[in-house]
Amino acid sequence: MMKILLSVLLFASTSAWAADSSAPKLDIGKGGQCVEDTQWMRKNHMHLLKHQRDETLRKGIRDEKVSLKNCIECHASTKDDSVIARDDSFCVGCHRYEAVKVDCFECHSGTRKSAWLQQRNAK
Amino acid sequence: MSEIDTQRRNFLKTSVGAAAVAIAPGIMLFDIAHGKPEGASSKVRWGMLIDTAQCKTGCNECVTACNKENGLSGGTAATDSQWIRKIEIKDISNGRELSLPMMCQHCEHPPCVDVCPTNASMKRADGIVLVDKHRCIGCRYCMMACPYKARSFVHEPLHDQNPDVPRGKGTVESCTLCVHRVDEGRQPACVESCPNKAILFGDLNDANSEIAVKVRAVASVQIRADLHLNPGVRYQGI
């Protein structure tokens, strides 16, 4: 019974989100799909990131496919190389819409690494 | 001590995954969350051998390189992060002077890991001592426990960090042995920058590595060896 209820809830919430015309318009950068489809990622990206951060830091397992750095590499804006710089940036757009605070970037860089390196070397 | 019990996590993972199959056939939750099987190996023990005879008084290249690599300000005030320092020592009985770099010694039995209340301070399987900033609450017990004064606390908000080196306000940090470089098979920034090649980096467990050969051949000491922490950083000529 709980499973049915849960599935109805999940289905309702995700389909409502997808159909909502007021949903945020994001600058997805280069975009593309390398992990899972968009709806799945909207719902579950935080679990992947949270799992991977422990694997990477504590065990040294650097899986490129689900690393935050690689997410940023593709999804940072092609204009400003960032996932957090503007209101419609890849991370900020949804997180602001859903009113969920994103803590990652208090420590992590929200800039594409290649662009960051270029900037540093230019200094 | 530093290992997190993954039993409960594994259990949750599988049960949630099973639920996901029931909810939406064809979608396996967490199926792809497993990374590459190889991570840091306990067969490796990263270490350094510092030849104080080659370390020149007044030279600060290693410190500058560390600051640049890890995005440190380079300030030396009490509230500035310093991951590596140059230290000048003098034997007052005969006036012999030495200069040497001092940083996290990556102990085998790190006191910072022992005292950490949240298990944030941890030792990787390959001997690199790190702070898991996801867990660090900034209590600074580890800073008090460290006999080498190797750790710093971040007092101010930071911006524009190196994508390879996340750092943030309210957490403790220290030399990571440039873990992001080591995992790529490169040398730490300080080692690369030393004009006199005074710092030798390598795997102490590999009998054929340059560092292991040299440690066998020349006399070297660990600083505060009396504490039996077995640091991975050794000094030659003290």
Strands B152-153 and B233-236: unpaired
- SS3 track for chain B: CCCCCCHHHHHHHHHHHHHHHHHCCCCCCCCCCCCCCCCCCCCCCEEEEEECCCCCCCCCHHHHHHHHHHCCCCCCCCCCCCCEEEEEEEECCCCEEEEEEEECCCECCCHHHHHCCCCCEEECCCCCEEECCCCCCCCCHHHHHCCCCCCEECCCCCCCCCCCCCCCCCCEECCCCCHHHHCCCCCCHHHHHCCCCCEEEEECCCCCCHHHHHHHHCCEECCCHHHCCCECEEEECC
- The amino acid at B12: L
Binned at pLDDT 50, 70 and 90, residue B29 comes out as very low
Whether the pLDDT of residue B37 is over 90: the answer is no
Binned at pLDDT 50, 70 and 90, residue A122 comes out as confident
Copy the structure tokens of residue A63: 């899986």
Mind listing the pLDDT tens digit for each residue in A8-57?
445 545 555 555 677 788 888 888 888 999 999 999 999 999 999 999 99
Residue of B15, B34, B116 to mutate, testing the A interface (most A Cβ within 10 Å of its Cβ):
B34
pLDDT value for B175: 97
The sign of the torsion formed by the CA atoms of B3, B4, B8, B14 equals negative
Residue B102 · residue B148 · CB < 8 Å? yes
What pTM did the predictor assign? Answer: 0.81
Comparing CB atoms, the residue among A57, A65, A111 nearest residue B130 is A57
Q: In angstroms, rounded to a whole number, what is the distance separating the alpha carbons of residues B56 and B39?
A: 37
> Lowest-pLDDT range, A63-77, B23-37, B42-56?
B23-37
Strands B152-153 and B46-51: unpaired
What interface predicted TM-score (ipTM) does this complex get? 0.80
Copy the structure tokens of residue B187: 């040398």
Using a CB-CB cut-off of 8 Å, the residues of chain B touching A56 are 35
In angstroms, the Cα distances linking A12 to A5, A9, B231 are 10, 5, 57
pLDDT value for A40: 93
> Region B148-152: what's the mean pLDDT?
96
Q: Which residue of B has its CA nearest to A7?
A: B23
Contact check, Cβ <8 Å, B36/A63: yes
> Lowest-pLDDT range, A6-20, B96-110, B185-199?
A6-20
Comparing CB atoms, the residue among B24, B33, B164 nearest residue A51 is B33
Q: In angstroms, rounded to a whole number, what is the distance separating the alpha carbons of residues A70 and B2?
A: 27
CATH topology of domain B46-236: Alpha-Beta Plaits (3.30.70)
Domain residue extents for chain B: 1-35, 46-236
Using a CB-CB cut-off of 8 Å, the residues of chain A touching B28 are none
Using a CB-CB cut-off of 8 Å, the residues of chain A touching B171 are 107
pLDDT value for A7: 55
> Region B202-222: what's the mean pLDDT?
96
pLDDT value for B213: 97
Smallest CA–CA distance, residue B148 to chain A, in Å, is 23
Comparing CB atoms, the residue among B33, B163, B164 nearest residue A66 is B33
> Lowest-pLDDT range, A77-81, B19-23, B39-43, B91-95?
B19-23
Beta-ladder partners of B142: none
**Residues whose CB is less than 8 angstroms from the CB of residue B193 and which lie 6 or more positions away in sequence, other chains included:** B61, B62, B64, B65
Beta-ladder partners of B67: none
Q: What are the φ/ψ torsions at residue B187 (nearest 5 degrees)?
A: -90, 155
Mind listing the pLDDT tens digit for each residue in B68-88?
999 999 999 999 999 999 999
Binned at pLDDT 50, 70 and 90, residue B125 comes out as very high
Contact check, Cβ <8 Å, A60/B183: yes
> Region A74-90: what's the mean pLDDT?
92
